[in-house]
A and B are shown apart, each in its own frame.
Chain A
Amino acid sequence: MFRGILEGMRQTLRSFFEKPVTIQYPEQKRPVRARFKGRHVLKRYENGLEKCIGCALCAAACPADAIFVEAAENTDERRFSPGERYASTYEINMLRCIYCGFCEDACPTEAIVLGDNYELSFMDRAASIYTKDMLLEPVPAVDKLTPQSTPPGVFTRSVPEMKDPED
């Protein structure tokens, strides 16, 4: 009996000097892993054009039916993405989304990527619908906003030449 208590106290004393396994969450954050599937991000090309071409393959693939895409025509004066069409509306319902990453797999232009953000909270249900503005990556420079005016006959290909994905 007495031995048992001593043994227990020894354990307690030893763990005083161990590195704690817990972290102080809101202040301290643990980095996520490479394959982590967090909140979606819509990517852009280096020239500022959106990668999304509004094909709605992600919406078709989505097992939870969380994505809504509406496409519109690009013109050389008002160009959002390469090729003929762009997504005029892109909405993801974050309450429906199950973060499986199948939209990422379905995307032909690698436009939608599940990012690192896992801190999603809303004050009401309507706020859970993320619109295109909220999902799009920020513009790198002011002159690279979309829509852009582009020379005709340059951005005719909607799906870029791609190499095998690394990850």
Chain B
Amino acid sequence: MEKQDSNGKFIVPIGPQHPALKEPGHFEFAVEGEIVTGAAVRLGYVHRGIEKGAEARNWTQNIYLLERVCGICSHIHATAYTLGVEKLANVVAPPRAQAIRTLVAELERIHSHLLWLGVAAHEGGFDTLFMFSWRDRETVMDLLEMITGNRVHYSTNILGGVKIDLDDEKITAIRKGLDFLEERTHHYLKVINTDETFLGRTRDVGTMSRQQAEELGAVGPTARASGVPRDLRVEAPYAGYHEFPVRLITATEGDLHARFVVRMNECLDCYRVIREILDRLPGGELATRVPRRIPEGETISRVEAPRGELVYFIKSTGGDKPDRIKVRTPSLCNWGTVTSVAVGHKLADMPMLLAGIDPCFSCNDRMVRVNRPDQSQTWSWENLRQYGIEYYR
């Protein structure tokens, strides 16, 4: 985003390397005393060239590569990709596979929201809640390890279905874990709604109106906390969400507190959906055959990641490798809300505001676009070198 004009203003730079940041990102807050008058974000420190890397690997290998776009919402990336490729190949995964995909996605959502609750509480100086929520997150990570083998990168999806199956023993364990988590989530809801110190940090902080949220293109729980009814699981159901519908959870306040409430209520809905899936788990095959070469075509695949809408663009030229894969992660959409909402708040509220959108830096570092006067997009090596020399002069 635009570099700020610094004349007459005091600018507090934070990052890219900073003890308070978990991931590298650069922020510039223009302040007048304690009050922030302008904010800018600079991203791109953890660009890994995954999209380009995907072009060199075949369709199956890319599942594992794209799963590693994000460390928290790994399954949903693989789901978005496999759903897109299945659409291109004209294959539909069997109902049991779809249900298991949905189940893992919902468990992952619980994991992500509980992790976020801890991080956000920590940024607000409420480390007790951080410790408690991360302890309880272990429960869901344990369940995921039991059913998929890994705590983070689950490798559940294959093209045309899933790799893993559920048996009675696992189903009983999941139910037991959910009962515990549900009880804890009710407790957290009570804490975030009643604890005075915490309410002082969250209520009426970072308030974003519905109109603002719509204009800035906010997605996910950030948008839903401002009353925007936007959830792909409801609007455009994919995988198992046709059969196991979720409730749209919104709040109207639009402040940080509303985001906490929305995310915790979403967790409660996740428990309901998972129980429903376990009750009515369809039988049958786990996977269908998908050809090694995917027919020529282009497709857009949209799914609801824990942080919001995730979009994949997949283009095939009929070979065993994709021609182009473009990923648009939800964190990127939400950055605009931070920089515009930050104005008028205290500098001390910034960590909470940043954490409020649940940012994932390595997710959103997708592409580096260099602005040049003639707006051309292709750079020769010589030009780039010259640009670098000029820049650092």
From the candidates A37, A63, A98, name the one contacting B62 in the complex (CB within 8 A).
Answer: A63
Residues of B within 8 A of A64 (CB): 64
* B35 within 8 A of partner (CB): no
From the candidates A99, A101, A102, name the one contacting B60 in the complex (CB within 8 A).
Answer: A102
* B65 within 8 A of partner (CB): yes
Instruction: Indicate the size class of the contact surface on chain A.
Output: 10 to 19
The main secondary structure of chain A at its interface with chain B is: loop
A63 to B64, CA, bound (A): 7
The answer on a CB contact under 8 Å between B149 and A37 is yes
The answer on a CB contact under 8 Å between A33 and B149 is yes
The answer on a CB contact under 8 Å between A63 and B57 is yes
1/0 per residue A19-56: CB within 8 Å of B? 00100000000000111110000000000000000000
What residue in chain A is nearest B66 (Cβ atoms)? A63
* A100 within 8 A of partner (CB): yes
* A135 within 8 A of partner (CB): no
Residues of B within 8 A of A129 (CB): none
From the candidates B61, B138, B145, name the one contacting A63 in the complex (CB within 8 A).
Answer: B61
Residues of B within 8 A of A63 (CB): 57, 61-62, 64-65
The answer on a CB contact under 8 Å between A21 and B64 is no
The answer on a CB contact under 8 Å between A101 and B155 is yes
What residue in chain B is nearest A34 (Cβ atoms)? B149
Residues of B within 8 A of A61 (CB): 60-61
Q: Can you name 9 extra interface pairs (CB under 8 A) apart from A21-B135, A33-B149?
A: A21-B138, A35-B149, A36-B149, A37-B150, A37-B155, A99-B150, A99-B153, A100-B67, A105-B163
Binding site for A on B (CB under 8 A): 57, 60-62, 64-65, 67-68, 135, 138, 145-150, 153, 155, 163-164
Q: List 20 A-B contacts (CB under 8 A).
A: A21-B135, A21-B138, A33-B145, A33-B149, A35-B145, A35-B148, A35-B149, A35-B150, A36-B149, A37-B155, A61-B60, A63-B61, A63-B64, A64-B64, A98-B64, A99-B150, A100-B67, A100-B155, A102-B60, A102-B61
